[in-house]
Amino acid sequence: MNVLVINAGSSSLKFQLLDVDTREVYAKGNCERIGIDGSFVGYESIASGGKRRLEVALPDHKTAVQHAFDIVKETGKDFVGIGHRVVQGGWYFPESKVVTEESLGWVREVAPLAPLHNYAEADVIETCRELFPEIGNVVVADTSFHYNIPERAHRYALPRDVVDRLHIRKYGAHGTSHRYIWRAAKEFLDDDVHKLVSCHLGSGASLCAITDGRDMDTTMGLTPLDGLIMGTRCGTIDPATVCYLQREGGYSVDEVDTMMNKQSGLLAVSAISSDTRDIEEAATRGDERAAMAIEMFAYRTAQLVCGMAQANEGVDTIAFSAGIGENSPTMRAEVARKLAWLGVRIDDEKNALRVDEVREISAPDSAIRVLVVPTNEEYMIALDVAELLG
């Protein structure tokens, strides 16, 4: 059963056509720089014979969707529906839902919590409905998996009338990835996993505590700014810093928002780059700020692993995933070293291997199993679409 998955950002639109039964990908691509000069579509499909790059004007998401559909059409494959990754589902999407007039309205209603993403994805959903009224659409929200975490973990200790009126709570993010990581770990370990700490470490990064498939807690909060230090995001800081920056630093609300989301994190600490590849290279050359960026990232990750283990009341498996988690043996080793007091031991040879599949990297005497799990959010989204529309 084939499904088209669409993931729209503020200026990009990723798409993938895949078969949920065989996991074969027939076409995938990314429309980049939408609404900006120098836009293009990079793609690869069973019809293209390798990677292609179309230099085309992409004035809006609608044009991008049309290009994506043209590329998908060339494969000659039909699909049962379209799955849309929605960053913020708010209080309306405790699970994936078929798009109707009403549910499309919900995506827009909760958009102030993720303005860069939700409005774009809502426009894309509307475009898909307009262009292809016969094809069903499904909203798969990144927040769904986290919606049922226990109240003690999702409630903010602010006045009840305020949190109720403004729907303030921990929503988390990367839920689709954490859900996939749980599934893949369970499959790999023949069901022998009960208390998992899932570490999605990419340019955005979050951890999730999962007990027998139930989400117990996660490190992102009302927005994806909370928790771990990220490429350009500061992660958890004393909330009073925000008031202090405005009162004493003279920064406006928007300036603080931009600072914390775009100018902080690994980029700020290393003063080199938001990309761990550049930072690791600089650290090996003896750059002290780069070394501190790695140290802080690993320290905070290890600290949050312990927090998630508490949410699970135990941990039998730790899984590393996403750009850094899948590709940086240095960071994995650093995190594991910091967790050595818990009995975590990794096998250096296994950790150094570069293969794109689920694998165990812990040493035989490790008290906790450590896995590397390449995440696959598109597959998870496609499964939901197949279930709802297949």
Binding positions for ligand AMP, rule: CB under 6 A:
202-203, 231, 275-277, 280, 322-324, 327-328
Q: Which is nearer to ligand AMP, 34 or 205 (CB)?
A: 205
Q: Whats the size of the chain, residue-wise? A: 390
User: Rounded to whole angstroms, how far apart are CA atoms 332 and 337?
Assistant: 9
CB 201, min distance to ligand AMP, A: 8
Rounded distance between C-alpha atoms, residue 360 and residue 370, angstroms? 6
Q: Pick the closer one to ligand AMP by CB: 293 or 382.
A: 293
Active-site hit among 70, 142, 257, 356: 142
| 136: phi then psi, degrees, rounded to nearest 5 | -80, 150
Burial of 347 (0-12, 13-18, 19+ CB in 10 A): middle
Is 142 part of the annotated catalytic residue set?
yes
Closest CA to 343 of 321, 370, 319, 325: 370
Dihedral Cα 110, 260, 376, 115, nearest 10 deg: 20
Smallest distance from ligand AMP to CB 202, Å? 2
- Please enumerate, as own/partner, the contacts of 272-277 that have beta carbons within 8 Å and a separation of 24 or more: 274/203, 274/231, 274/232, 275/203, 275/231, 276/323, 276/324, 276/328, 276/331
Dist CA 344 CA 346 (whole Å) = 7
Of 51, 371, 3, whose CA–CA distance to 199 is shortest? Answer: 371
Nearest residue to ligand AMP on Cβ basis: 323
Provide the minimum distance between the beta carbon of 325 and ligand AMP in the complex, in angstroms, as a whole number: 8
Q: Is 195 or 233 the residue whose CB approaches ligand AMP more closely?
A: 233
Q: Which residues contact 357 (CB under 8 A, 6 or more apart)?
A: 374
Is the CB of 163 or the CB of 333 nearer to ligand AMP? 333
Q: Is the CB of 44 or the CB of 281 nearer to ligand AMP?
A: 281
Catalytic residues: 142
